[in-house]
Amino acid sequence: MKFEPVIGLEIHVELLTNTKIFCGCSTTFGAEPNSQTCPVCLGLPGSRPVLNKRAVEFAIRAALALNCNIVDYTTFDRKNYFYADLPKGYQISQYFYPTGTNGYVDINVNGETKRIRIHQLHLEEDTGKLLHVGDILASPYSRVDFNRAGVPLVEIVTEPDIKNSEEARLFLQKLRTILLYTGISDCKMEEGSMRCDANISIMPKGSKTFGNKTELKNMNSFRSVQRGIEYEITRQSKILKSNQEVIPETRHWNESKGSTTAMRSKYLASDYRCFPDPNVIPLETDKDWIDQIREALPELPDEKQARFVKEYGLPEYDAEVLTSTKELADFYDETVTLFNEPKTVSNWFMGELMGLLNNEKVEITQCKVTPQNLANLLQLIDKGTISGKIAKNVFEEMFKDGKDPQAIVEEKGLIQISDTAELEKVVEEVVEANPGPVEDFKGGKKKALGFLVGQVMKTTKGKANPQMVNKILGDKLK
């Protein structure tokens, strides 16, 4: 029997606010344990939460970027359960009225656009962190750090529109790109500022009824999300093929073992008894504020990509790559305004720039080359001052130390030789020194011309204008 997987994702994203959602403690990552805590985020008796306006703004911004409807009235609700990383005995979350609902993200699956619907996006507080002493299984106690407790999060819940692990990866990447564009989060999975759980079930192909689902947790990279989903699909298929039932449960992805195990506990809460927190009064998001946030949204990847195709005439592929991060796209945009040949600029981006960024593992934000310098370089080629080949070497220099191309060209004497008399002299020398290939060419071996051009370039250390060399050689050997 063939099975069809049904996958929904729940993604938690920490917001890049200065302070926590309900108190003024800093959210800086990596601080000394418990150095960013106060009575509110420690849940000390008598303290009161006060909502951070920017956290709300960021949640609305993210929801708008994901094409959600924005709620006009919301409450902050208590989700009650006991756990060591939860200071108050409840987590404050938007249980009844999420900030955003009914959104979507379009992903590109093998050249086709597929729409993944967003069920909801809601704002909530993060928990603290448990630091295990040695091996978690053997440890007699755990240490608790509440620095992360109260850091604002949005949880994004998709509809079960994802069909396989590859789509899950594509969706996560696209989501991350969009969120990075909006600037609400740094989306670092390795630091836990982006976390993903997956709800997975399978059903016979063509069936309308979903199978029992498992919730998969603890996947700490895009790669482990993919692996975890694949493992779970295989595991569930085996169970169904042997005519057994999948147990609906929460499962834990073990990265080193490459498998999932059930998380069973008699202490797991089954009933969260959610109700509005009387200490955090309701929030009415007025239309003007939402409009303001909407207007301040940057151009998002899909719009930008469409513009690059339409306005710059780029191929879809180029446009997709160039808009993969906001910084890269902005860099490109700026270069094009300085050197208005979009396709040439794109070729340089797709080839030289991204090649070097990847090889040297440098982020575009740390790149020493500026759009102005890159445009200057392209102008030098355009004017014939340097050859395209030389330009590549110049670019490497620019990438290394951020120098202006003009300065490099002058310093190293790389200016292209376009003087006919000078070139004729070199050509003559080469013809004289290579009677064999000259004969070959005259005898009809067209290939021999390439060798002779190469010799001219060698003599001039690559500075000869290749078009002119071709012409002069051709005339000479007629």
Chain residues in the site for another protein (CB under 8 A): 17-19, 23-26, 32-39, 42-56, 73, 75, 78, 80, 82, 84, 87-90, 130-131, 136-137, 139-146, 265-267, 269, 271, 273, 275-285
75 versus 164: smaller Cβ distance to another protein: 75
129-160: b or e for each residue (b if 16 or more CB lie within 10 Å)? beeeeeeeeeeeeeebbbbbbbbbbbbbbbbb
Helix (H) or strand (E) holding 8: strand 3-14
Nearest distance, CB of residue 63 and another protein, angstroms: 17
Cα atoms in the Cβ-side hemisphere of radius 13 Å centred on 440: 13
Relative orientation angle of helices 371-382 and 326-338, to the nearest 10 degrees: 40
1 versus 136: smaller Cβ distance to another protein: 136
32 versus 112: smaller Cβ distance to another protein: 32
Nearest distance, CB of residue 17 and another protein, angstroms: 5
Question: For residues 261 and 44, what is the distance between their CA atoms, to the nearest angstrom?
Answer: 36
Question: For residues 440 and 460, what is the distance between their CA atoms, to the nearest angstrom?
Answer: 23
Nearest distance, CB of residue 214 and another protein, angstroms: 20
Distance of CA 19 to the CA centre of its chain: 24
225-263: b or e for each residue (b if 16 or more CB lie within 10 Å)? bbbbbbbbbebbbebbeeeeebeeebbebeeeeeebeee
Nearest distance, CB of residue 57 and another protein, angstroms: 9
Nearest distance, CB of residue 269 and another protein, angstroms: 8
109 versus 281: smaller Cβ distance to another protein: 281
Phi/psi at 132 (5° precision): -85, 145
The one-letter code for the residue type at 100 is G
Task: Report the candidate in 439, 421, 425 with the shortest Cα–Cα distance to residue 477.
Answer: 439
Nearest distance, CB of residue 36 and another protein, angstroms: 5
23 versus 175: smaller Cβ distance to another protein: 23
14 versus 352: smaller Cβ distance to another protein: 14
Nearest distance, CB of residue 322 and another protein, angstroms: 33
Phi/psi at 271 (5° precision): -140, 110
Nearest distance, CB of residue 220 and another protein, angstroms: 19
Q: Give the SS3 label for residue 198.
A: strand
Please say whether the beta carbons of 22 and 150 come within 8 A: yes
139 versus 337: smaller Cβ distance to another protein: 139
The one-letter code for the residue type at 131 is L
46 versus 413: smaller Cβ distance to another protein: 46
